[in-house]
Structure 1
Amino acid sequence: MKQLIDFIPLIIFFVLYKMQDIYVATGALIAATAVQIVLTYFLYKKVEKMQVITFLMVAVFGGMTIFLHDDNFIKWKVTIVYTIFAIGLAVSHAIGRSAIKGMLGKEITLPDHVWAKVTWAWVAFFSFCAGLNVYVAYEFPLDVWVNFKVFGLLAATLGFTVVTGVYIYKYMPKDEDGKPTKNENEDHMS
């Protein structure tokens, strides 16, 4: 359910872009992202930092897109969000508080070197996507960029998530039957 809520603003943006234009779609994206945060808080009593950062970037760059009637701002939002994610992961790892381990470490037990490789892989992925977005935004027509933003980056993120899962699975502790064991923290909570 939570993942579906996360995609609703993107779907609304895409549909309204196709039906109207980038400015109507951007206004709807701002509103839908605000509703998404409220709905997430109402359902889960918590809003993740990534959602707040994304909303702030959507509101600022989307607002500038509408106010200045310049679609370059909404194009840059994608690159800035991915850059913030890459920097955030790198800094969290450098100070010894890996954000990825913090999110998944309660459910998955892995050696620290694996958490480090996963973190740096995501830093590289987000950095690559940030650069690729700039390239697509300025080398191709707006229609191509919208399709890339909605489908290309989504597919790339889902694909990279699967690759990360396969990599992590190799290093998870296994029982005698070769099945992943529960995290020690889960046993104490049960």
Structure 2
Amino acid sequence: MDDTTNEKKINPTLKFALEMGPIIVFFAAYLWLRERTFTIGDTEYEGFIIVTAGFVPLMIASSLALWRLTGKLSKMQVATLVLVVIFGGLSVWLNDDRFFKMKPTMIYLLFGGLLGVGLLRGESYLKYVMDEMLPLKHEGWMILTRRLTLFFFVLAVLNEVIWRTQSTDTWVYFKTFGLTAGVFIFFLTQGKLFQDYAVEEED
């Protein structure tokens, strides 16, 4: 999906801060403002909506900074940013937190759907995104893509269940820590696949 040859190298700590910083700031701001209500004009806004209103421009700024420093953004990063702007904007505009809570669902459905389309065509779109980080044989990419596609759909369903049945506090903790940990654990459990289908250096 992406040409990574033009990507500029930057400090890994700075890159991590730009990628994860907005999420950490969102979480901290929510804990600070969750019990407060703000009146703007004639409309009352809960702390969650105010935090969402701040998160959207922060996400845009961090993405632009990442693009300026590295020379590129992956298609996944661009798609995530677009959905943040759309669903975050709707939540603020309509004063309804449900739209922002739906955002992870839409993101994982989009990613899972795109990977699924590639599988139907006999391709692994995941390979184009991660090939430099994980050099695998074709069979390995296909297996990993099938697993990740299913995993994305599971996360989409799980997000719907959490935000529809649990409190906002629970959802914020789930979004901040649960989803991130879930993706990390998923790749951590694929060690045998990486070992079995790794491309040998001589190849």
TM-score where L is the length of structure 1:
0.86
Structure 1 residue matching 2:102: 3-state secondary structure: helix
Check whether the contact 1:108–1:182 (CA below 8 A) recurs between aligned residues.
Answer: no
Could you say which residue in structure 1 is the equivalent of 2:179? Answer: 153
Q: How does 1:27-176 map to 2 (within 5 A)?
A: 27-106=53-132, 108-173=134-199
Check whether the contact 2:109–2:156 (CA below 8 A) recurs between aligned residues.
Answer: yes
Matched, 1:182 2:201: yes
Structure 1 pair 128–68 and aligned structure 2 pair: CA distance change class (3 A): same
Structure 1 portions without partners, runs of 5+: 174-180, 185-190
1:92: how far off?
2.2
Structure 2 residue matching 1:153: 3-state secondary structure: helix
Could you say which residue in structure 1 is the equivalent of 2:4? Answer: none
Find the aligned partners of 1:33 and 1:166 in 2 and give their Cα distance. 35
**Deviation per CA, 1:144-175, whole angstroms, max 9, x where unpaired?**
010001011111011112123442123214xx
Find the aligned partners of 2:202 and 2:87 in 1 and give their Cα distance. 41
Q: Which has the higher contact order (CA 8 A, sep 6+)?
A: 2
Check whether the contact 2:123–2:142 (CA below 8 A) recurs between aligned residues.
Answer: no
Structure 2 portions without partners, runs of 5+: 1-11, 34-46
Q: Which has the higher helix share?
A: 1
Find the aligned partners of 1:12 and 1:107 in 2 and give their Cα distance. 28
**Deviation per CA, 1:130-154, whole angstroms, max 9, x where unpaired?**
0000000011110001000101111
* AA at the equivalent of 2:162: V
Count of paired positions? 177
Check whether the contact 1:109–1:172 (CA below 8 A) recurs between aligned residues.
Answer: yes
Please, which moves more after superposition, 141-150 or 97-106? 97-106
Could you say which residue in structure 1 is the equivalent of 2:29? Answer: 16
Please, which moves more after superposition, 129-138 or 104-113? 104-113
TM-score where L is the length of structure 2:
0.81
1:109: how far off?
4.1
Find the aligned partners of 2:58 and 2:171 in 1 and give their Cα distance. 20
Structure 1 pair 165–46 and aligned structure 2 pair: CA distance change class (3 A): farther
Q: Kindly report the root-mean-square deviation, in angstroms, between the aligned alpha carbons of the 2 structures.
A: 1.7
Q: Calculate percent identity across the aligned residue pairs.
A: 29
